[in-house]
Amino acid sequence: MPAALEIAVTVLILAGAFFMFVGSYGLAKLPDMMRRLHGPTKATTLGVGAILVASMLDALLVTGDLSMHELLIAVFLFLTAPVTANMIAKAYILRNRAERAALPPTGRPAGWATLVRGEVPPVPEGSIRP
Amino acid sequence: MTLALIALIPLLGACLPPLTTRSSRTVTAWAAAAPTLLALLILAAQAPAVFGGEVVRTSAEWVPRIGLSFSFMLDGLGLFFAGLILGIGLLIIAYARHYLGRRDPIGRFYAYLLLFQGAMVGIVLSDNILLLVVFWELTSLSSFLLIGYWNHLPEGRQGARMALVVTGGGGLALLAGMLLLGQAAGSHELSEILARGEEVRASPLYMPALLLVLLGAFTKSAQFPFHFWLPHAMAAPTPVSAYLHSATMVKAGVFLLARLWPALAGTDAWFVLVSLTGLATMLVGAWIALFKDDLKAILAYSTVSHLGMMTMLLGFNTGIAVIAAVFHILNHATFKAALFMSAGIVDHETHTRDIRKLGGLYWLMPVTGTLALIAGASMAGVPLLNGFLSKEMMLDAAAEATLAGNGWVVATLATLAALLSVAYSARFVFGTFFGRPRTAFEHPPHEPPPGLWLPVAVLVVPVVAIGLLPGPLAGPIVEMTAAAVAGPAGLPPVKLTLWHGITPALVMSVAAFAGAALLLLLIHHVERARLRLWRPEAKAMFDATVAAAVAGARRLSGGLHTGSLPRDLGVIVLAILAVGLAGFLGATHAPGAREVQPTGIPALAAWVILVAACAGLAVAHRNRLLTLILTSVVGLIVSLAFLQFSAPDLAMTQISVEVVTTILLLLALNLLPKTTPAEPGTARKLRDGAIAAAAGLGAAALAFAAMTRDFETISTYHIEQSKPGGGGTNVVNVILVDFRGFDTFGEIIVLGIAALAIHALLATALRGAAARRLDAMRMGEVSGDAHPLMLVVATRVLLPLALTLAAYIFLRGHNQPGGGFIAGLIAAIALIMQYMASGHAWAAARARLQPLTMIGAGVLIAGLTGMGSWAFGRPFLTSTFGYFHLPIAGEVELASAMAFDLGVFLTVVGAVVLALSHIARVEQRAERSGHAPEDAALPPGPPTAAPRIGLRTPAYGRED
């Protein structure tokens, strides 16, 4: 059993390292902003995710208990990484005029949220904005 | 400690009158009278012993290392003055009850009065000369409040300020003089200094000490040329003038001269300085008093003149003159307080104090008129009244004084002053109460209520009684007081009698009366002649001096503080370098004994990144965003270094501080201009670079030298004692909340103050000129959805998670990395996310605890925890801990330090949230004035239903 676990940990670390490398390489090499955005998101989700699982298994191997801290890290990461990417993309759309022209129609009455400056309906107490 | 109580009861009693302002004014007056009466009773209880020749003492240590002790002494002089201060104080309290109008805040008045009274009693009872200076300055401060009591009047404010500048400045000279005197005598206790008069006068410090002490006494007693502040202090309500300028404030200078008489008097320098200043003051004051039209101004200058007379007498170096001075202090206090109160009554009833508009009041208010007539006659020195006796003694002493071999100069000038004194007294009384009425009063003035004239009557009784029976009534008091003044030197026998026979003094007195009659007949001619003379305007000169001092100070500080940050930093760094170099070059050195550890690849890599980031900073400093990113790289590497050297606590702190700082700077960057200041020339760059490099190399060398040596530090103790002494295994946290808890307490207070300053500075940014500047700012293009859905949702989901984490970090802090500070930063970041994502208004509306409340609660909790140890008889912030067994959670450790840590936590959260949310709020204001992207740039699509330009409507980001 320990041997199998050790192999699993090794594979996970290697996989994590691979995705992190791919993410970094993509960030450096991809031609424009929107495509570059994909690099770091892969690195944080797949790369860090694999390493976190490896860390949990490693704790099981060493102490005999599954470490739960990593789950918390994963939760924080999975919550923040997409939002960060979203915010970067929004900023990019706002700043880059050429990009705006190339945006596809939204297919709904409202335009792109970043660009349409409009009144925001007040949020009812205790609810999330519709 | 009974003696100390006499001074402390009025000081503490000052809290009483303001508490009773909801009751009637009479109750408030009683609340002020009660402490005074109590102090007077305690004083009276001590009186028999003092009359028996005893000196009552009490002493407690205060700051023994600088010779400051809390020691009091009651001898004849102290008893005499304390009796005057408290006795007349009581009369003034009764008088003020009726004098002050309904709109005057009477509680505040009595509070100031009691403060002043306590300080005054403190001066006359102090045994320690430094304690005396403390009380001396307290009288300057409290008299400032009293003189400026009618603070709606510009004269009141200016007069108060002038009095404070002159007497407070003199107080500083006095402090220096007292320190020198203490050096010369080898003690700061008055009782010892007075016994060592010979030593003091022989000391080389005698002259500077004398000059400084005299400067203090002369400014306080309004001696020429510092006499100008006293008349301006007349802007105060009349009870204040009556109190300050008859028996107390200005007498403090005279008291000091009398108190230090055995130590300082007896030399030629003393004679020349003191008696001539007194003589000049006596003449100048009397001369000006004669030509004033305001009743209170006449009395003010006459006070100046009489103070000069007492000063002159004390300067004569003879026992007879001391007796005369003491006797006149008593007499002057009675008749002058009575006259001031009479002037107040006249003002109260006729609403004017201008002697040109008054006259004939005697027939309208006979009681007041009679009292004022008697008191005025005493001031003039009419026989059968007490003023006559002390004036005779003064003239007697003056007749004996010789100046530069001349026996008649002092005598003639003293007679001239007496002449002027008769003249202005006559003008005061006759101009007000006799002759024709000069104004048609709408409501004819009438006798005031007894509350106003009774205190005057109480003072006029001794004026007559002492005048008739000086020996039996005043003799013992004067003898006891004069003996205390003269000290070991001894006195000639005191004989206070009405009739001395035809003496030179009597002749001079008669001459003075005859001359005064002549002068009053010719007054209009004299006045015309006087108007042709040059009359210096003291207030203009004072104002010009103050303005020049302020301008000079501005120039000096402007020259030192140019506002250039590079220059200031350069000076600081150069100074540190110079000090370090001096230390380095002034000692021998050997290389450290410790071996240098090998460098690993990760450490090297981190070092390279650090250096690269710093170099990048220097190169790219014009790009502010890049600078910020590079700075945070430096911060992260530093926290990695902390981890490497087993300081996880510091690493956590560093990372959380880094995050908060970055958010703060990002918000601030948005408000900064988009251009950086012009680059300096190459020469300056090279210079600054050289300074920076030298400082960096110096710091590195110092660190290297320290790290290659073995030396004993306090950390060993901290590590050993952390668990047994503080109950925690996390040494850093135990140091913060326990070993060095007082430091931390001070630091959170500083943090709170800084947050309050931010609050105060930025609260105004949304109003007035600052708001217009914000409106004028163009923030570039602003996103259509200021609060993106994803961000809003994510931050709200994260909030409970982050708060849980903060609680976890907080709870484990005592034993594992964590603690209140880090937890506070994490909680603050969690809250700030809400402000940033959902808008200030949204977040602020939902915050149950305001940041300011949190700061206050934090400091309060920390302070109360510290004070809790007092209940167990331990010093402030002693901590305790214990282990408790809870049913489910098992073994739980609770330390009192955790409550303290909670205080730290709350303060940190409050301060950070306050700072960031305020900046965010200012930001939003600027943002709203920005412009939306042009419609032309919108992608083709169905047009929006309506032009939705409504960001100013109450929605997100609304400012109240």
pLDDT at B409 over 90: no
Substitution target from A72, A88, A117, A129 for chain B, most B beta carbons within 10 A: A117
- Judge: B793–A128 Cβ closer than 8 Å, yes or no: yes
| Euclidean distance between CA atoms B696 and B709, whole angstroms | 20
Q: How many CB atoms lie within 10 A of CB B561?
A: 10
Query: Could you tell me how far CA B52 lies from the centroid of its own chain?
Result: 41
Question: What is the distance in angstroms between the Cα of B895 and the nearest Cα belonging to chain A?
Answer: 27
| Euclidean distance between CA atoms B36 and B42, whole angstroms | 10
CB B105 within 8 Å of CB B28 = no
- The confidence score (pLDDT) of residue B960 equals 35
Quick one: average pLDDT of B57-74?
85
The string of pLDDT tens digits covering residues B182-191 is: 888 888 888 8
Q: Report which DSSP code applies to B764.
A: G
Q: Percentage of chain B with pLDDT > 90? A: 17
Substitution target from A114, A116, A123, A129 for chain B, most B beta carbons within 10 A: A116
Question: In which element (H, E) is residue B100 found?
Answer: none
Token code pair at residue B175: 């402090």
Contacts of B936 in chain A (CB under 8 A): none
Q: Residue B121 — pLDDT band, cuts 50, 70, 90?
A: very high
Contacts of B801 in chain A (CB under 8 A): 72, 75-76
Is the CB of residue B950 less than 8 Å away from at least one CB of chain A?
yes
Q: List the one residue out of B369, B394, B392 whose CA is nearest residue B382.
A: B392
Contacts of A105 in chain B (CB under 8 A): 939-942
Q: Percentage of chain B with pLDDT > 70? A: 93
Substitution target from B791, B826, B842 for chain A, most A beta carbons within 10 A: B791
pLDDT at B927 over 70: no
- Judge: B941–A119 Cβ closer than 8 Å, yes or no: no
- Judge: B794–A83 Cβ closer than 8 Å, yes or no: yes
pLDDT at B944 over 60: no
Examine residue B225 and say whether the peptide bond preceding it is cis (omega within 30 degrees of 0): yes
Helices (H), B731-788: 731-734, 741-763, 768-776
Q: List the one residue out of B441, B246, B436, B457 whose CA is nearest residue B352.
A: B441
- Judge: A122–B787 Cβ closer than 8 Å, yes or no: no
Phi, psi of B885 (to 5 degrees): -105, 115
The string of pLDDT tens digits covering residues B462-473 is: 888 888 887 777
- Judge: A83–B945 Cβ closer than 8 Å, yes or no: no
CB A5 within 8 Å of CB A60 = yes
- Judge: B950–A118 Cβ closer than 8 Å, yes or no: yes
Pairing of strands B61-63, B68-69: antiparallel
CA pseudo-torsion sign B712, B714, B715, B716: positive
- Name, in order, each residue with C-beta under 8 angstroms of B587's C-beta and a sequence gap of 6 or more: none
- Judge: A94–B783 Cβ closer than 8 Å, yes or no: yes
CB nearest A100 (choices: B793, B805, B937): B937
Compute the C-alpha angle A13/A18/A20, nearest 5°: 95
Q: What is the ipTM of this complex?
A: 0.81
CB nearest A115 (choices: B793, B938, B954): B938
pLDDT at B492 over 70: yes
Torsion of CA B136, B140, B145, B146, to 10 degrees: 80
Tokens 């049913």 belong to B887
Token code pair at residue B55: 């000196």
CB nearest A115 (choices: B784, B792, B797): B784
Pairing of strands B56-58, B72-74: antiparallel
Is B406 buried (19+), middle (13-18) or exposed (0-12) by CB count in 10 A?
A: exposed
Residue in A closest to B787 by C-alpha: A120
Token code pair at residue B728: 């925690």
CA distance to B90, B153, B533, per residue, from B915 (Å):
53, 40, 64
Substitution target from B787, B838, B956, B958 for chain A, most A beta carbons within 10 A: B956
The 3-state secondary structure of B456-511, one letter per residue:
HHHHHHHHHHHHHCHHHHHHHHHHHHHHHHHHHHCCCCCCCCCCCCCCHHHHHHHH
Q: How many CB pairs under 8 A join A and B?
A: 106
CB nearest A117 (choices: B784, B801, B941): B784
Token code pair at residue B654: 């560093």
Quick one: average pLDDT of B568-590?
89
Q: How many CB atoms lie within 10 A of CB B161?
A: 17
- Judge: B798–A110 Cβ closer than 8 Å, yes or no: no
| Euclidean distance between CA atoms B896 and B604, whole angstroms | 43
Instruction: Determine the length of chain A.
Output: 130
| Euclidean distance between CA atoms B286 and B512, whole angstroms | 13
CA atoms within 13 A on the CB side of B535: 13
Is B466 buried (19+), middle (13-18) or exposed (0-12) by CB count in 10 A?
A: buried
Contacts of A120 in chain B (CB under 8 A): 785-787, 955-956
Quick one: average pLDDT of B211-227?
88
Q: Which of residues 833-892 of B touch A (CB under 8 A)?
A: 842
- The confidence score (pLDDT) of residue B442 equals 67
- Judge: B948–A116 Cβ closer than 8 Å, yes or no: yes
Query: Could you tell me how far CA B758 lies from the centroid of its own chain?
Result: 25
Contacts of B784 in chain A (CB under 8 A): 112-118
CB B829 within 8 Å of CB B660 = yes
- The confidence score (pLDDT) of residue B941 equals 39
CA atoms within 13 A on the CB side of B502: 1
Token code pair at residue B861: 């909790």
pLDDT at B368 over 50: yes
pLDDT at B932 over 80: no
- Judge: B790–A86 Cβ closer than 8 Å, yes or no: yes
pLDDT at B440 over 90: no
